[in-house]
Structure 1
């Protein structure tokens, strides 16, 4: 009987939760479908998703970024040349691939080159959410309070 949870399916479709999954899971990834893809961490706060979409043209692929989710769908236009194939090994079936994104992950540019679709991602944490250093002042606490404005004397 298996006692550990296998988080592999969740890890593959999320970006930006690296620390959480590294703590919860160690193990090898398995191939989980079509189209195959890679997720690359390019820097501290930048990622790239690359999907292998051979047989598709850029106008047959749609990328939609919603809050915390990235959807990539592909639907091939009908072939004008319905040739008599002896072997058809290049998959051209319609697909939809969803990626769950962590908070503050923004989708950037997308490139299509040599049958590979690359989508840039970046973690952009708002200034209000970033940690800030609080300086410790000297003196006694009563001087640090905000005083009410003093009434000004009127000229007679």
Structure 2
């Protein structure tokens, strides 16, 4: 039995990577940490976005933001404090990994940790319009 997908149309050539990316994103179901994505105003050209993650309890050394191919990966690792004795432990030291798939041309311009919120700024400058003439060869 053949699997029919929206990308199996003969008019959509070379979109296999996008299909695999969509499948990978659909499988990531963990909701921690919560995040917002907002469009920022005032850009001279192109889109400006900010991803804000709620990372209360994490310090700068516990967080890692990397760009792997077209994926923005945010990892958090907290070490368990063995010197403290808890009578009640409601705030667990936990690890997370949150992946955001970026479109072509998106770039990360910076990240800032303030008051338990990690803000990652992105932009996409307007691409130059490229028109290229394709020569037609005649063979008789």
- TM-score, length basis structure 1: 0.57
CA shift in 2, pair 1:91/1:78, >3 Å = closer
- Counterparts of 1:113 and 1:55, CA distance in 2: 11
For residues 1-156 of structure 1, the aligned pairs below 5 Å read 33-43=31-41, 45-88=47-90, 90-127=91-128, 130=129
What is the TM-score when the length of structure 2 is the normalising length? 0.63
After TM superposition, give the deviation of residue 110 of structure 1 in Å: 0.3
Unmatched segments (≥5 aa) in structure 2: 1-21, 132-140
Report the structure number with the largest CA radius of gyration. 1
Q: How many residues align?
A: 101
Q: Please identify runs of 4+ aligned residues in structure 1 that moved more than 6 A.
A: none
Mapped to 1, the partners of 2:89 and 2:79 lie a distance apart of 20
Unaligned runs of 5+ in 1: 1-9, 14-30, 133-156
